Amino acid sequence: MQRIKMKKSIVYILLLFTCFFSCTDELNQEPTDGRETDETAFQEDPLAAYQEIIAKVYASFILTGQQGPAGNADVSFPDEGFTSYIRQYFKLQEWSTDEGICAWTDPGIPQINENTWGTTNSLVSMIYSRIFFTVSIANDFLRQATPEKLDARGLTASERELVERYSAEARFLRAMAYYHALDLFGNVAPVFETDPEGFFTPERMTRSELFDYVESELLAIEGELLAPRASYGRADQGALWMLLAKLYLNAEVYTGTPRYTESLAQLNKVIQDGGYALADDYSYNFLADNHTSPEIIYPIVSDGELMQNFGGTTFIIAASLGDPISGATAESDFGTNQRWFGHRTRSSLIDKFDDFTGAGDERAIFGFDGFTKDIETPRNYGEGFAVLKYKNRDKMGNPGSNIVFSDVDFPVFRLADAYLMYAECVVRGGAGGDMATATQYINDLRDRAFGVGNPDGNVGQSEIDLDFLIDERARELYWEAHRRQDLIRFGNYTGSTYNWPWKGGSASGTSIPDFRAIYPIPSADLSANPNLIQNPGY
Amino acid sequence: MRIIFTLLVLGSTLLPHSALAQTFSLQGTVYDENSDPLIGATVRGPNQAAITDTNGAFVLEGVNVNDVLTISFIGYEDVSYTVNAGDNNIQLTLGVLATNLEDVVVIGYGTVEKSDATGAVESITSKDFNKGPIVSATSLIQGKSAGVSVAAPSGQPGSGSIVRVRGLSSISNTSDPLYIVDGVPLDRQNGPAGSRNPLNFINPQDIESINILKDASATAIYGSRASAGVIIITTKGGSDRLTVEYSANVQQQRPIENINVLGADDFRNLVTQEGTADQVAFLGNSNTNWQDQIWQNAIGTEHNLSVSGKLLKDIDMPFRASVGYSNLDGILQTGNFERLTGSLNVRPSFLGGALKVNANARFARENNQFANGSAIGEALTADPTQSVFSEDPIYEAYGGYYHPTSPGSSEPLFIGNPVASLNLVDNTGNVNQFVGNIQTNYELPWVKGLSANLNLALETADGENFNYSSPFLSIDNIEGGGGGFSEKTNQTMEYYMLYRPELGESPVTNFDIQGGYSYQNFEFGGGSQNIDVNSGTIIQSIPNSSTINLQAFFGRANIELFDKFLLTGTIRRDGTSRFIEENRWGNFPSVAGAWKLINENFLEDSQVFSDLKLRASWGITGNQEVGGAYPSFALYQTSNDQANYIFDDGTFGILRADPYNNNLKWEETETINLGLDFGLLSDRITGSFELYQRDITDLLNQTNFPAGTITTNRFDANIANMETKGVELNLSGYAIDREDLSLRLGINTTVQDIEVTQLNAVPNQDFVDDNYGNIGFGQNGQGLSVGYTPFSYYTFRQVYDSNGNPIENLFVDLNNDGIINDEDRFINESPFADILFNFNNELIWKNFSLNTVWRASYGNFAMNNINATFGNYNALFGQQDEPKNIVDNVLVTDFTETNNEILRSDYYVQDASFVKLDNITAGYNLSDLFNNDKLNLSINGSVQNVLVLTDYDGIDPEIGIDNVTYLRPRIFLFGVNATY
């Protein structure tokens, strides 16, 4: 009897446990809030999923997370607004040069202003993280767009063609991110879609290996992109030619081997085949409706309602404003109620204009009333003229769609830059162009700047040399995130051939060592990836 | 036939005896240890039995002289009484069963006699709890146990405590212990929106005992979630007679101290001296102490009522029901905390006690009015020469509150009038919480000693908050605000069987074995919606709804040999939905042994030792708690309406591949513990000594991934190792122990050292992860590095002049590269104490009692970020020229500015060792005034946060990084307690 009861209780226990074992299926959980798994994301409308994923790759150059204006951030830093890709790229290319300086004392900013950054500088870390974030999501797109996956997801032929084009665009955007890495950091450890997902330690490339990779990648996808100007905002062949031209223009810096002829070849395509034209007015390239400018080759799109963030042109405009520009003026003239009392320019840029009021060269768009030209204390906003060429207003003077967030697209590449690059390549001995054309291009820009028919702007062929060009690039392209790269290419960044106020931390400017022509690999990544080697000097 | 004959024979032999003896009827009364009558006690004679009535009285018929009576009552020690000739109306007192209260410790899935415990377990019962008004359950045990620290993070009423059992057990995830309330393991991670404290649903008055499991042997049975220690809360149950208890208090909370900013006159002089004409023109003529304008003496009351007794006459069904109500204002004006709690528990037993049910239902409703915390910082910097309100008509559109306004301008700069910030922002949070469970224990009739236990529990919480800011706070008169909600439902089912055979004469004096299964499912979600005050845009957050599932199988065996040697083994196998299938399960074993030295012959006659037990344990516990619910799985995240990308051919929402790490696996904590329990001089002094080492490997921590290998920069990985070593000593005893006068002293101390032993996949001794310790301006003040205490301050080395004053902007160039930048920092001291010391005592003289709780900390450092931020002349003027107040530390340093280096100067890292008198409570029992034995009435008065002795410059040495915070108040209260 006892035995039977024992058996009975064992059965009882086993029964319960059998039920429990089957519950272990519940250890497989999925969210129920709109987040999707690999499978569910592509289930209902695979094309829409691909479109939203490629949109994220594009958006990664300006937005900071999944929730506008802030929230659900892409990368983790104390202030999400700071982490906008173009915002950080802009800072490293402008604030460390003769064109810009910032009043804020947030970590890392004074060191960028004064060229004393170290390996843990947070601005340096942020752009580095941003570049590789874009790389990682572009890789994710490519992993989702393999032929096998496209086969399995039941796309129509035309949909498939579209996704394949997006793949080429993802590769372009990734190449652009690597080009930024090449320019800022030189020797990094790139990651590709064919690499394993998750934690591994990618191999380091030298700067010239990275150059070769970016070049070959761009050449490989040229035929797969849209024709120039086919759809505004998309990475098309015009953008690709321009990026290749930039790559070749700086090849000597990156690899030691000049490639000006190759650069000219790409520039000729941009200028002759691209269908671009100069905007009627210089300022139109920096207004809320600048998407209508025929001059813009590749923009980072911005919209005050649909793309809210604290980076991009919202940042450039708001950080430029503050007393003595009143709140009322900010609203009426700049279409924003934000005044962040941040960046201004240094006298080195102002002095490149004969008349900084804009009465002659219209490209001089500065706030000088109530400002001092010279900077005694970098953290004082009123010292140093404000740069006011970006405005959240359209050509007609109407404000942008939102009083806080800007509609102004950031002009990554525009035709004026191509003209100046053309002239530079010719001056530097590149084949495939001539000085007469170069002179014409430059005078086209200067005619627009000084007003058609005003001979003050005209330059003769003989005046066009490297010294002229580096200054002309400042006058035409200031605050478009080219300056540091340009100064390095012209040999004017490190050393003391060219000093500007607060260069190296001294009010009158002082020499900085050559190693500062590239930024350090952030120590956080060095600690994570033993394949990396710190850039020399750091 | 034979049987009848036998009976007859027996009967005939008995008859003469009974006929000869003098039997009589015996009356008596049975009392408990407090001399209260015991109702329902059994008085058993050789031939008869009686039950005491409501007065504790009994009458036993047919009693003979020299009969031995046995008097028994559940929970009390049996008493034998031999009847004497002439006995009438005898008085009998039953003592509480020694093993009933403090000597039984509650461990995971069961209880154990304290003398048989093999792990480091501390049991604190209601009589040992801190006295006085206590809003949070964990405040009951502050200072009561070595290695357990309880600190209030903030002075907000109803805010929780930060509880650490043996210090940090994690870096970027929670180090909170696991709370088990009446057998229900609570969710550690997701408190409800709008609540200040996840334990708020328990009224502290309802708590019977709190048991703290410290070492792996004790905690391993909770395996997966036990690495940070386990705190088991057991609530009070029903009583055998109807008892009504009411307690109430009224309290006043007072701000203790203001931060030393400049007074109006000094400020005016300084601004006049330093400022430009524009800046000076801002000055007013008032003399306002803005800190006094925002803080207040706050009044609060609390009421608790409980009824306990037996529900039904014939069935053993004790119950207890309680309601509690708190209404406390905060010392920061406009703040209020209101809470209503209710609880019911019924603990019936059936089938002659074989089937025991323990059903609990606990509910809390919390209404919070949150004072706008930004007023605290604004009050430091607001211009003291201005008044709160201004007559100037330009302020009419903003409620009349003064704001700095550029001279000649009609637009106020919204830089913050702290009083406006308090009064014009309405921030409320309402939370409902429910925890209910039914625990059934059935002693299976088929096999003696085999029992089955099933526990079904449900925990729900929903919270909502709403934050409204008046149009008066916006230059464009736009009203701002928003709200959020959260809800969660946690289901628990736990089942175990226990086999504890009765052993005859055997070397094995005790044996039991148990096995069980645990299932927990956590569902939680929430969302929010906000109006942007600048643009008026309504921003909808991305909703979140997640589920986490945990399951486990566990077993434990205890064996005792010769009543001297104890051995415990546990094993738990845990599964979590957070990890992929291959990494999902973790095994967590532990073993522990103890040697009851007191039962050895050589201590048999000891006059000194009344108890002596040596313990040793080893075990591994686990942790799977990392940020999200799905950290190991590839997911796509959708976006809200404000995040899109636009091409000519369309606007698209953005879909992001979220970061994930499919290598995530269980973090493991290995603990070795050596312990000695002792009792001296007939247990007049008792105590324990613990020596332990805890190694956490594969610590789940946020770390930098090699750039590009994951779709973010920092994510969770099993990356770090951390080691903790410590010594703990607990002592308590009676210094005086007389009938009318007793003095009990409790002392405990902890010496502890925590060190990071690995931080990266690649060993790199020099790397410092400085992503910790926000000190404002996006700057961090703390770092992690191998070989150092986690969260050590990471600072520049200040250079001082010959008078010992810091020289502004002069730091030691530690790496000798000619420039001062982040690479010149060094790892400084940490906010964690080397030695913690608790001292509590209780003096009882007749009806008067006095309790004090002292706490001391040695070797903890604070970083005075208030001085670093506001202690310079540059802070005297805002970005728009408006004058702002600064702290008077500037008079010491004469610093003109602050910058990223000064903020992290080691000048501001100061020794913050302290001695605190946390609580002093005096009570008087008035029961003697009433001629009623059943009525017990006492009154008490208490002061909390009484005294702080420290060399630290700031206000609170326990703060770590001294940012602008809601200061802990001093609380005075008066209470009454009545039991009938």
> Could you please report the per-residue DSSP string of A213-263?
HHHHHHHHHGGGSPPTTSSTTS--HHHHHHHHHHHHHTHHHHHS---HHHH
Nearest to A35 among B638, B780, B822 (CB): B638
Return d(Cα B473, Cα B422) in angstroms, integer. Answer: 11
| Structure tokens given for A320 | 């430029």
Return d(Cα A121, Cα B378) in angstroms, integer. Answer: 30
The CB density around residue B187, as the number of other CB atoms within 10 Å, is: 21
Q: Read off the pLDDT of each residue in B584-597 and give the average, rounded to a whole number.
A: 91
Instruction: Tell me whether the omega of the peptide bond preceding residue B198 falls within 30 degrees of 0, making it cis.
Output: no
Residues 6 or more apart whose CB falls under 8 angstroms from that of B221 comprise B107, B108, B109, B554, B556, B570, B572
Structural domains in chain B plus CATH codes: 17-93 (2.60.40.4130)
Q: Where are the domains of chain A?
A: 44-224+503-538, 302-408
With a pLDDT cut of 90, the percent of chain A lying above it is 82
Q: Which of A202-216, B148-162, B810-824 is most confident?
A: A202-216
Burial classification of residue B737, based on how many CB atoms lie within 10 Å of its CB (0-12 exposed, 13-18 middle, 19 or more buried): exposed
Query: Which stretches does DSSP call E strand in B631-713?
Result: 635-637, 644-647, 650-653, 656-657, 667-680, 685-704
State the angle between helix axes of A466-477 and A415-427 in degrees (0 to 180), rounded to the nearest 10.
170
Q: What's the confidence (pLDDT) of residue B98?
A: 46
Give me the total of CB pairs closer than 8 Å, taking one residue from chain A and one from chain B: 344
Name the residue among A276, A273, A257 with its Cα closest to residue A265. Answer: A273
What's the farthest any 2 CA atoms get from each other in chain B?
Answer: 126
Q: For chain A, how many helices (H) and strands (E)?
A: 20, 7
Q: Read off the pLDDT of each residue in B111-117 and give the average, rounded to a whole number.
A: 77
Return d(Cα B883, Cα B284) in angstroms, integer. Answer: 10
- B-chain CB neighbours of A56 within 8 Å are 645, 654-656
> Are the Cβ atoms of A71 and B541 closer than 8 angstroms?
yes
> Are the Cβ atoms of B535 and A82 closer than 8 angstroms?
no
Query: B903-926, pLDDT tens digit by residue?
Result: 899 999 999 999 999 889 898 888
> Are the Cβ atoms of B780 and A78 closer than 8 angstroms?
yes
With a pLDDT cut of 70, the percent of chain B lying above it is 94
pLDDT of residue B194 exceeding 80, the answer is no
pLDDT of residue B113 exceeding 80, the answer is no
Residues 6 or more apart whose CB falls under 8 angstroms from that of B601 comprise none
List the single range of A282-296, A366-380, B291-305, B346-360 with lowest mean pLDDT. B346-360
Return d(Cα A280, Cα A292) in angstroms, integer. Answer: 11
| Structure tokens given for A422 | 């053309």
List the single range of B492-501, B596-605, B651-660 with lowest mean pLDDT. B596-605
> Are the Cβ atoms of A27 and B636 closer than 8 angstroms?
no
Name the residue among B20, B27, B23 with its Cα closest to residue B46. Answer: B23
Per-residue pLDDT band for B93 (boundaries 50, 70, 90) equals: confident
Strand partners, B737: B742
> Are the Cβ atoms of A71 and B521 closer than 8 angstroms?
no
Name the residue among B653, B690, B573, B560 with its Cα closest to residue B620. Answer: B573
Q: What's the confidence (pLDDT) of residue B99?
A: 40
Q: Read off the pLDDT of each residue in B948-953 and give the average, rounded to a whole number.
A: 92
> Are the Cβ atoms of A528 and B704 closer than 8 angstroms?
yes
**Complete DSSP assignment for B141-163:** GTTSSTTEEEE-S--STT---EE
Nearest to B640 among A37, A68, A198 (CB): A68
Nearest to B654 among A59, A82, A528 (CB): A59
> Are the Cβ atoms of B708 and A67 closer than 8 angstroms?
no
List the single range of A1-15, B124-138, B827-841 with lowest mean pLDDT. A1-15
With a pLDDT cut of 90, the percent of chain B lying above it is 33
pLDDT of residue B404 exceeding 90, the answer is no
Name the residue among A305, A327, A303 with its Cα closest to residue A313. Answer: A303
CATH fold group of domain A44-224+503-538: 1.25.40
- A-chain CB neighbours of B547 within 8 Å are 29, 31-32
Q: What's the confidence (pLDDT) of residue B228?
A: 84
Return d(Cα B621, Cα B228) in angstroms, integer. Answer: 9
Query: B290-326, pLDDT tens digit by residue?
Result: 999 999 999 999 898 999 888 776 677 888 999 989 8
Q: What's the confidence (pLDDT) of residue A127?
A: 96
Q: Read off the pLDDT of each residue in A308-332 and give the average, rounded to a whole number.
A: 93
Residues 6 or more apart whose CB falls under 8 angstroms from that of A398 comprise A288
Q: What's the confidence (pLDDT) of residue A38?
A: 82
> Are the Cβ atoms of B534 and A8 closer than 8 angstroms?
no
Nearest to B635 among A37, A189, A195 (CB): A37
Nearest to B446 among A9, A136, A305 (CB): A9
Mean pLDDT, chain B, rounded, equals 85
Query: B442-469, pLDDT tens digit by residue?
Result: 888 888 888 999 999 998 888 888 888 8
pLDDT of residue A458 exceeding 50, the answer is yes
Strand partners, A333: none
Per-residue pLDDT band for B532 (boundaries 50, 70, 90) equals: confident
> Are the Cβ atoms of A68 and B641 closer than 8 angstroms?
yes
Strand partners, B292: none
Q: What's the confidence (pLDDT) of residue B132?
A: 64
- A-chain CB neighbours of B634 within 8 Å are 37-38, 197
Report which DSSP code applies to A399: B
pLDDT of residue B249 exceeding 80, the answer is yes
Return d(Cα B813, Cα B822) in angstroms, integer. Answer: 10
> Are the Cβ atoms of A68 and B546 closer than 8 angstroms?
no
Q: What's the confidence (pLDDT) of residue B726?
A: 93
Q: What's the confidence (pLDDT) of residue A8?
A: 54
Q: Read off the pLDDT of each residue in A363-383 and give the average, rounded to a whole number.
A: 94
Q: What's the confidence (pLDDT) of residue B837?
A: 92
Q: Read off the pLDDT of each residue in A499-513 and give the average, rounded to a whole number.
A: 95
The CB density around residue A193, as the number of other CB atoms within 10 Å, is: 20
pLDDT of residue B14 exceeding 50, the answer is no
| Helix/strand/coil (H/E/C) assignment for every residue in B47-107 | CCEEECCCCCEEEEEEECCCCEEEEECCCECCEEEECCCCCCCEEEECCECCCCCCCEEEE
List the single range of A173-177, B179-183, B383-387 with lowest mean pLDDT. B179-183
Strand partners, B123: B211
Q: Nearest residue on chain A to B412, judged by CA atoms? A: A327
Per-residue pLDDT band for B100 (boundaries 50, 70, 90) equals: very low
Return d(Cα B690, Cα B119) in angstroms, integer. Answer: 10
Q: Read off the pLDDT of each residue in B759-765 and give the average, rounded to a whole number.
A: 75
Report which DSSP code applies to A137: H
Q: Are A508 and A515 in contact (CB under 8 A)?
A: no
Distance from CA of A260 to the nearest CA of B (A): 31
State the angle between helix axes of A122-144 and A46-59 in degrees (0 to 180), rounded to the nearest 10.
160
